[in-house]
Structure 1
Amino acid sequence: MTVVAAALVRGDGCILLQQRAPGRAMAGLWEFPGGKVEPGERPEAALARELHEELGIGVGEGDLIAATFASADNAGRHMLLLLYVCRKWQGTPAALDATALSWVLPGEMHDLPMPPADIPLIPILDALLRTAFSAA
């Protein structure tokens, strides 16, 4: 199973996380928005679709920058999680498929309960963003 997720990054370096709704697997955990890639769908197209469905925002596929990935077991199935960084979108994110949204700095993610597949992405994302901001 291939899953795509986005680190939506504001100008101040904060990243948007969403809290999984009650009644869903891993309810209450904070995660990067995204979802499953459907058969025959390109990852970037899937992520643009998922961000529209979950947050009500528009994202151009060209605005999604591949950052890193994680490989993990998910309820007995292998999951490949592809994380993209996105700094440009249209609209204001809304919690259409989540309990809540929160803008956090990468270092603050360590204090939040997150799905096991997301946790190893945090230090990599933090390092990538530090490098990007120091180069700017």
Structure 2
Amino acid sequence: MGKQINVVGAILIREGKILCCKRGPGRSLAYLWEFPGGKIEKGETPWEALSRELQEELKIKVKIEPEVFEESSYDYEFGTVKMKTMICHLEKGEPILTEHVALKWLPVTELETLEWAPVDVPTVKKLVAQGYFYD
């Protein structure tokens, strides 16, 4: 069995749209879309990790909902990624590209038009099925 990587992803909602981020070249899953976030480091809660990752990657401060929206896992060649996604609201800043090559704010009805990283797909499907979002 390969290594397990625990990550978090943000369902960042603004004006009824969700932030989608495109991974850059030279990384695993290059050019696939994902919810912004990253690895949970030792000693961090998922909420602390998500807050830190969004500050590092997008230079934003967010309010994170207390409950997990979706949990998913996917077996990649490099290991199993287990992801928790949480609903977030922008508190401060405007997302800035530092690690991603593109950002899009999309309504739930358009999420499936993008090519998503496999571990993100269950969250996309749940959002679309529920028509789920609020500000």
TM-score (norm 1): 0.86
Decide which of 39, 54, 63 is 1:51's aligned counterpart: 54
Which residue of structure 2 aligns with residue 10 of structure 1? 14
Q: Which digits, 9 at most, give the CA deviation of each residue in 1:87-130, with x for residues without a partner?
A: 23211111111101110112212111111111121121234454
Amino acid at match of 1:92: E
Instruction: Quote the residue 2:117 is aligned against.
Output: 115
Match of 1:20 in 2: 23
The 5 A counterparts of 1:1-136 are 1-11=5-15, 13-60=16-63, 63=65, 65-130=67-132, 133=134
Aligned equivalents of 2:53, 2:31: Cα separation in 1? 19
Q: TM-score, normalised by structure 2?
A: 0.87
CA contact (8 A) 2:61 2:92 kept: yes
Change (3 A) 1:128 1:64: farther
19-28 or 73-82, which deviates more: 73-82
The alignment covers a number of residue pairs equal to: 131
Could you list the structure 1 runs, at least 4 aligned residues long, displaced by more than 6 angstroms after superposition: none
State the secondary structure of the residue aligned to 2:38: strand
Letter of the structure 2 residue corresponding to residue 38 of structure 1: E
Identity %: 38
Letter in 1 for 2:74: A
Residues 64 and 22 from structure 1, CA distance in 2 versus in 1: closer, same or farther, beyond 3 angstroms?
A: farther
- Give 1:30's aligned amino acid: W
| Rounded Cα–Cα distance in structure 2 between residues aligned with 1:109 and 1:101 | 13
Q: Over aligned residues, Cα RMSD in angstroms?
A: 1.9
- Between Structure 1 and Structure 2, the one with more strand by share is 2
Amino acid at match of 1:85: I
Unaligned runs of 5+ in 1: none
Q: Is the 8 A contact 1:63 1:88 kept in 2?
A: no
Gaps spanning 5+ residues in structure 2: where?
A: none
Report the 3-state secondary structure (helix = DSSP H, G, I; strand = E; otherwise coil) of the residue aligned with 1:118.
Answer: helix
Does the 8 Å contact 2:61/2:90 carry over to 1? no
